[in-house]
A = this chain, B = another copy of it.
Amino acid sequence: MSEFVITTFDWVPETPRGYVRDIRLRWALEEAGLAYRVESTPFNNRQKEHFLRQPFGQVPWLSDGDVFIFESGAILLYLAERSTALMPHEPLGRNKVIEWLFAGLNSVEMATVPWSFFMFSDDHEATPGRKILDNFLQSRLHHMEQELAEREWLADDFSVADIVMVDALRLVDRFNGLEQHSASRAYIARATARPAFAKAHADQLAFYAAADSKLNL
């Protein structure tokens, strides 16, 4: 019997709460109905033990007995191979989920996260490189809008690909970057209305609220 353990930061500032990447794992595990628990690693003063598990000093990582995996994309694929609630296991359906999983991480999130650096710092200066980055994001959002206007989920059914894509698009929506993209907003709304997302999100917020209490913040 597997015992899945998610390791995330013991505390984070307000800004990333609700967006720390452990939410992707919590969401997937809730969708699959797989038991798991959550452990923590210090946010401040990251030690050698942390880098042994996650080479960039980030979170989350997953353990499954004596198997340890880092990178949320890799972890989602690992979980998806263990539950048809996250990915069909026949080859064609599996391929479709995997291509969209990579698309979320490498075609969409590669635009959304760097763009968010400028938004978080209220930086709106249209320098030449910034224009390329903004156009890159707008092109990705435009094509995603067309895809999402046509269907409910990226593959035939809800999958780990949607977990990643929705989480990437939520970051754009946070800065009102989807005002002209109604299909994308509707997609986020129907995904985040799922009980598994609601529980994952609430649990992450509660986890950090409890961390504040311990610190008497």
Contact = CB atoms under 8 A, between A and B. Distances in A.
B123 A130 contact: yes
A107 to B, nearest CB: 5
A70 interface: yes
Contacts of A100: 71
A22 to B, nearest CB: 15
Given A102-B71, A110-B109, A132-B120, A56 B125 contact: no
Contact of A129 (B102, B106, B111, B118): B118
A99 B121 contact: no
- A-side binding surface: helix, strand, loop or mixed? helix
Interface string A104-125: 0111011101100111111101
A136 B110 CA distance: 13
Interface in A123-170: 123, 125, 127-133, 136, 139-140, 143-144, 146-147
A69 interface: yes
A122 B127 CA distance: 10
Contacts of A98: 74, 77-78
Nearest to A70: B99
Interface in A76-91: 77-78, 91
Contact of A117 (B107, B125, B136, B140): B136
A103 interface: yes
A12 to B, nearest CB: 16
B129 A121 contact: yes
Interface of A: 51, 55-58, 67, 69-74, 77-78, 91-92, 95, 98-103, 105-107, 109-111, 113-114, 117-123, 125, 127-133, 136, 139-140, 143-144, 146-147
Given A73-B105, A118-B133, 6 more contacts: A56-B103, A70-B103, A102-B105, A106-B109, A117-B133, A118-B132
